[in-house]
């Protein structure tokens, strides 16, 4: 084998090994984070409400992420971690309103329909937590927690601290609930369908969607609210 080929092969093996190690460490880090957060939540339970971010839905087909989030929400309710659940999400990438679809599924799993709610404005993860937090506050809920996968939970940590103060986190702990051999119920999503739907990919470019994910709309709304308050104070 030529020296140059050996060198390339060694570099490839080193890089491959580094990536595998980084992936393993990342998985362990998120797993540890989720378990610690779950333990803390266990000491603070019950929460008045948990917020569950939405996932795109296609009729007769539910993603593994949606299954994970809905079944985790059921576990938290069954285990006494929460009294109510807000499922959040508009019709973003499919013509079905995510918050309504997930509520229908949760109700079909036996969670009392009276304690589940749909937030239907959010189109990005930051909006999921922010609009649901505002909704929860308007409904009189004080103890609020975010219930999603560990990655999303951790990525939203700084945003929550700034824009949704007081919201705790109860991320999925994969050692507690097994999702592989469980299925979501087949539902009739008629009430969640929007005939006038236009995909966000047609309404916004990539960078606009990225800025939305980073909280652009939330920041703009807060800035507008601040300006409005200042105007009111000046007029008084």
Q: Does residue 40 lie in a domain region?
A: yes
Domain with 121 in it: 31-235
Query: Would you state the pLDDT for residue 15?
Result: 36
DSSP state string for the chain: --HHHHHHHHHHHHHHHHHHHHHHHHHHHHHHHHHHHHHHHHHHPPBSEEEEE----BTTB--HHHHHHHHHHHHHHHTTSBS-EEEE--SSSSSB-HHHHHHHHHHHTT--GGGEEEE----SHHHHHHHHHHHHHHTT--SEEE-S-HHHHHHTHHHHHHHSTT-EE----TTT---TT--PPP---GGGB-TT---HHHHS-HHHHHHHHTTHHHHHHHHHHHHHHHHHHHH-
Q: What is the pTM of this model?
A: 0.84
Q: Which two tokens stand for residue 132?
A: 């649901």
Report the pLDDT value the prediction gives residue 16, as an integer from 0 to 100: 37
Beta carbons of 163 and 130 less than 8 angstroms apart: yes
Q: What is the CATH number of the domain that holds 181?
A: 3.40.50.620
Mean pLDDT by 10 residues, the chain (236 residues): 50 37 48 90 96 90 85 96 98 96 96 97 96 97 95 91 95 86 87 95 92 90 80 71
194 part of a folded domain: yes
**If 0-12 CB within 10 Å is exposed, 13-18 middle and 19+ buried, where does residue 15 land?**
exposed
Count structural domains, the chain. 1
Question: Is 24 domain-assigned?
Answer: no
Cα separation, 232 vs 236, in Å, equals: 6
Q: What pLDDT, on a 0 to 100 scale, did the predictor assign at position 2?
A: 56
pLDDT computed for residue 222 by the predictor? 84
Q: Is residue 231 part of a domain?
A: yes
Residues contacting residue 114 through CB under 8 Å, at least 6 positions apart: none
Residue 115, domain member (yes or no): yes
Residues 177, 79: contact at Cβ < 8 Å? Answer: no
Tell whether 144 is covered by a domain.
yes
Q: Which two tokens stand for residue 99?
A: 């918050």
CA angle 214, 217, 223 (to 5 degrees): 110
Is residue 114 situated within a structural domain?
Answer: yes
Residue 46: is the preceding peptide bond cis (ω within 30°)? yes
Separation between Cα atoms, residue 122 and residue 87, nearest integer Å:
10
Residue 126 lies in a domain: yes
Nearest-CA neighbor of 170 among 149, 142, 156? Answer: 149
């Amino acid at each position: 084998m030529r020296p140059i080929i050996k060198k390339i092969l060694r570099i490839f093996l080193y890089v491959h090994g580094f990536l595998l190690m980084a992936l393993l460490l990342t998985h362990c880090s998120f797993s540890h984070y989720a378990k610690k957060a779950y333990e803390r939540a266990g000491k603070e339970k019950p929460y008045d409400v948990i917020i569950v971010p939405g996932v795109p839905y296609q009729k007769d087909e539910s993603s593994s992420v949606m299954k994970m989030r809905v079944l985790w929400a059921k576990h938290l309710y069954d285990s006494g971690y929460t009294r109510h659940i807000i499922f959040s999400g508009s019709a973003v990438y499919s013509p079905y309103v995510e918050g309504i679809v997930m509520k229908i599924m949760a109700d079909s799993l036996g969670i009392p329909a009276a304690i589940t709610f749909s937030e239907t404005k959010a189109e990005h993860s930051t909006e999921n937590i922010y609009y649901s937090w505002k909704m929860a506050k308007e409904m009189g809920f004080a103890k609020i927690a975010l219930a999603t996968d560990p990655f999303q939970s951790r990525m939203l940590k700084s945003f929550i601290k700034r824009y949704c103060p007081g919201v705790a986190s109860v991320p999925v702990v994969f050692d507690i609930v097994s999702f592989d051999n469980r299925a979501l119920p087949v539902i009739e999503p008629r009430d969640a369908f929007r005939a006038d739907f236009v995909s966000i990919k047609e309404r916004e470019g990539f960078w606009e969607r990225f800025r939305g994910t980073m909280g652009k709309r939330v920041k703009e709304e807060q800035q507008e609210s601040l300006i409005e308050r200042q105007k009111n104070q000046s007029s008084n």
